[in-house]
Amino acid sequence: MAGDPVSSRLATSLCGIPLKNPVLAASGTFGYGIEFASLVDLNQMGGIVVKGLSRDPIAGNPPPRVWEAEAGMMNSIGLQNIGVRAFAREKLPELRRYSTPVFANVFGYALEDYVEVVRVLEDHEGISAYELNVSCPNTKHGGIFFSSDPQLLGQLVSAVRPVARRPVIVKLSPNVGSIAPLAVAAQDNGADAVSLVNTFISLAIDLHTRKPRLGAGFGGLSGPAIKPIALRMVFEAARAVKIPVVGLGGIASGEDAAEFLIAGATAVEVGTATFWDPRSPLRIAAELDTFLKQERIPGVGQLVGTIEWKKP
């Protein structure tokens, strides 16, 4: 029997924010949320992480932008968005009609970009927390990615922290040698939580034209293909920090979500699955509820970090 995405078994919290269930719609795959209001009961969702917001509008990368890969997809959207001020003016008032927590995904190419986006959002109601997308090159530091340098990441979080009255979540990239030092750097510089993983840098080639399948060349791989690696990195991050971890990467079922929670995640985000099923966050939450009922687990929090792990 199908579960209930707002079952009392699923109720939890993240950084002090009450959630009806621990399944959030990930940034970049659910628009600004309101576009799906006719397809999905937004009030039943655990949370919505809106499309990444920058200080100024961005047109994005040249097409094609999406390529269906084996067991997943590649995208190179280029962080296209309307800019934080247009979001606050046009989208946020609509989102405030719903009871579901809204998380603002924030990105930039210099510390000042992140700070300015958060500063603008601080003047508006309807945002529960910020998710900093650090998978961008710092153009003021020779293109070094915020996500690959613990010191640079720490500086970014330290710059945003004094401006933000709301919780700050740092979204980590998997394109690093070790995830633990980045998670620790985020924590030690004031982050309230970390989320991971973002997409894996990838390439697809058209055999006939001998050109990349995507207009920008490289893209980000997501979907079921990355789940085992994402799960490992969530486990490693959860072992390294005391702040909450939000897991994402290839989650397409309630059992997938349960695995991430067992690995140490407090909540999860669903991205690629919404492309073929816009209601997937609700479906996955319902399937997770069914799993909890079958396993006689009264609350989802009792699943978090219960992995039995013995080093060989």
* Mean pLDDT computed over 191-195: 98
Residue 49 has phi, psi (to 5 degrees) of: -100, 115
- How many CB atoms within 10 Å of residue 80? 15
Non-local (6+) Cβ contacts of 57 within 8 A are 81, 82, 83, 86
pLDDT value at position 291? 97
Rounded distance, CA 221 to CA 71, Å?
10
Rounded distance, CA 39 to CA 269, Å?
19
Write the Ramachandran bin of 9: left for phi over 0, alpha for psi from -120 to 50, otherwise beta. Answer: alpha
Which residues are tagged catalytic? 136
With beta carbons less than 8 A apart as the criterion, state whether 91 and 121 touch: no
* Mean pLDDT computed over 275-295: 96
Tens-place pLDDT, residues 81-113: 999 999 999 999 999 999 999 999 999 999 999
Task: List the Cα angle 139/82/23 in 5-degree steps.
Answer: 90
Tens-place pLDDT, residues 17-36: 999 999 999 999 999 999 99
Please name which of 260, 219, 192 lies closest in space to residue 78, comparing C-alpha atoms.
219
With beta carbons less than 8 A apart as the criterion, state whether 196 and 247 touch: yes
pLDDT value at position 138? 66
Tens-place pLDDT, residues 226-270: 999 999 999 999 999 999 999 999 999 999 999 999 999 999 999
Is the pLDDT at 187 greater than 90? The verdict is yes
Rounded distance, CA 32 to CA 100, Å?
13
User: Domain 8-62+78-200+221-303 is of which CATH architecture?
Assistant: Alpha-Beta Barrel (3.20)
pLDDT value at position 1? 47
> Where do we find the tokens 């109720």?
11
Is the pLDDT at 162 greater than 60? The verdict is yes
What's the first-to-final CA gap in the chain, in angstroms? 39
Is the pLDDT at 311 greater than 90? The verdict is no
pTM: 0.96
Partner residues linked to 13 by β-bridges: 18
